[in-house]
Copies of this chain bind each other. A is one copy, B any other.
Amino acid sequence: MENQKPDLEWLFHPRSIAAIGSTRMDESTGRVPHTIFFILALRRLGYQGTLYMVSRTGASEAAGEEKVYPSLMDIPGPVDHVIFCTPAQAVPEILEDCVTKGVRSAAIFSSGFSESDDPEGRDLQEEVLRIARRGNVRIIGPNCMGIYCPESGLNFRVDLPNSPGGAGMISQSGGMAMRAIFHGTEKGVGFSKVVSYGNESDLQSWEILDYLAEDEKTRLILVYIEGTQDGRALARSLKKASQAKPVLVLKGGLSPEGNRAASSHTGSMAGSDPLWQAMLRQAKAHVALDVNELVDTAMTFHYLKRPAGRRIALMCISGGLVVNYTDVAVRHGFEIPELAPETKKNLSEVINGPGTSFSNPIDMSSLFFSDRVYAPMLEALDKDSNTDFTLFIIAMEYVRGLEHQYKVSVQRIVEAFLVIVAKVDKPFVVVVPPSIDEESRLAVERAFLKAGIPTFLSMDGALRALSARIDDPREEAVG
């Protein structure tokens, strides 16, 4: 059986949206109701279509310019997409209205369906699915955040970034989607389309995956998945997607305990670990072990062309740190080979301070951040035939030492360095581990990211992400 070819483009471009649910402020907590929160989010991201609110509880101050209708049927114009924030029990009846009204898709934020212990929740979800299938309404969720698409202004939280990018994502968890969007954006990775699909009653993960595989705006696909109802279809779609673009997968519920947690999270049976491992391996998807790794790997694909192999030119100040970082690299299956004779010769012409050595790893010692040294040094390393990429570890405590001893600012040091790095052709990555002056560390990290250089918090994180990048045959950066 071939997967049917879903054209979900329309899903990301509704002409009008109605958010349905209470619009009343909670007086005791001061909490903004979800219905209004969704409307505020859509407005903030510049959604250009018509917005409506539907609530039996009537108008609310916070609603602002949108009129509140007592029912969907009272809205004069067409409604393409609805967002349910009502109690679960209210969904079926309102969904009947959706069918009548010709609504094309509904994201059900409401929980209390098959993810709950209550068998009633499961029945309710089946009822919703029946109505939707009969009436040709596509359901996202229930128990999900729905769609984020900066290009068309679709949004599920007021503070999500409004700059589109090349990463698409399907996520069975809204929280994981948010973490990936926020953290990814901090790392310079923007998103094209994200679908948080929760209980996956109607719209299936594989359908969205098929769409993202074909979507021109999406150049990299992130997946957070806990379970599936159709392993074969998912396996096929994963394989197809990963032939088209790099696919990075975080699987939730690999352990029995995690599986149990997943079941009460999205009602999904996560399935056995070996089965998933085999499926992901066959699909040639890159498996991340946690959300940090997912984001780090996305960043690596975004910025970095493929290093030809695992041979690192490792640069660091501080002999002790570089010894340990070398051990860490070897433990991750990387090599720190001797540099080519030609490189050593070139280096010996520039590095001759006491305590420095021409071997790999390169202990910069007191020459750290001397731009007279860095330019010819990086040039020499760039041409080195024995190494595949350069990894530079910035020890913030040394940078601060230089500020004291040479009376230069970190900012100036980094600026000078970035001018040099811009001329480097070989893949180049940076690790800036926390030590002191976290504010300065952040400034350094952000300066490197802005210059298009993958920048990591830890050597472990860098090497795990780089492993995925090297294993992927695609040569060019996707960002």
Are the CB atoms of B264 and A359 closer together than 8 Å? Answer: yes
Contacts of A226 in B (CB 8 A): 320, 323
Interface string of A153-164 (1 = CB under 8 A from B): 000011100000
Which B residue's beta carbon lies closest to that of A252?
B323
Interface string of A33-75 (1 = CB under 8 A from B): 0000100000000000000000000000000000000000000
CB of A16 closer than 8 Å to a CB of B: no
Are the CB atoms of B405 and A290 closer together than 8 Å? Answer: no
Which B residue's beta carbon lies closest to that of A196?
B320
CB of A419 closer than 8 Å to a CB of B: no
How far apart are the CA atoms of A78 and B336 in the complex, in Å? Answer: 49
> CB < 8 Å: which of B173, B292, B357 contacts A433?
B292
Are the CB atoms of A261 and B175 closer together than 8 Å? Answer: no
Q: In the complex, how many angstroms separate the beta carbon of A11 from the nearest chain B beta carbon?
A: 22
Instruction: Report how many residues on chain A are interfacial, defined by Cβ distance under 8 Å.
Output: 88
Are the CB atoms of A258 and B323 closer together than 8 Å? Answer: yes
Interface string of A285-313 (1 = CB under 8 A from B): 00001111000000000000000000000
Interface 9-mer from A377-385, A409-417, A420-428, A452-460: A452-460
Are the CB atoms of B395 and A321 closer together than 8 Å? Answer: no
Interface string of A176-211 (1 = CB under 8 A from B): 111100110010000000000000000000000000
Which B residue's beta carbon lies closest to that of A265?
B319
CB of A401 closer than 8 Å to a CB of B: yes
Are the CB atoms of A290 and B173 closer together than 8 Å? Answer: no
Contacts of A329 in B (CB 8 A): 257
Q: In the complex, how many angstroms separate the beta carbon of A322 from the nearest chain B beta carbon?
A: 6
CB of A328 closer than 8 Å to a CB of B: yes
How far apart are the CA atoms of A292 and B460 in the complex, in Å? Answer: 11
CB of A326 closer than 8 Å to a CB of B: yes
Residues 417-472 (chain A) with a chain B CB within 8 angstroms:
433-436, 438-439, 442, 457-460
> CB < 8 Å: which of B111, B253, B335, B436 contacts A183?
B436
CB of A224 closer than 8 Å to a CB of B: yes
> CB < 8 Å: which of B224, B261, B406 contacts A31?
B406
Known: A438-B442, A457-B434. A175 touches B321 (CB 8 A): yes
Known: A255-B331, A289-B328, A330-B257. A174 touches B320 (CB 8 A): yes
Interchain Cβ contacts under 8 Å between A and B, 20 examples? A29-B370, A31-B405, A32-B405, A112-B354, A172-B320, A174-B320, A175-B319, A179-B397, A182-B436, A183-B435, A186-B434, A252-B320, A254-B327, A255-B330, A256-B330, A258-B327, A261-B323, A261-B336, A265-B320, A292-B434
Q: A255-B327, A261-B361, A266-B319 are known contacts; what are 13 more A-B pairs with Cβ within 8 Å?
A: A30-B406, A112-B354, A117-B357, A143-B355, A157-B404, A174-B320, A255-B330, A261-B359, A261-B363, A264-B357, A439-B439, A439-B442, A460-B460
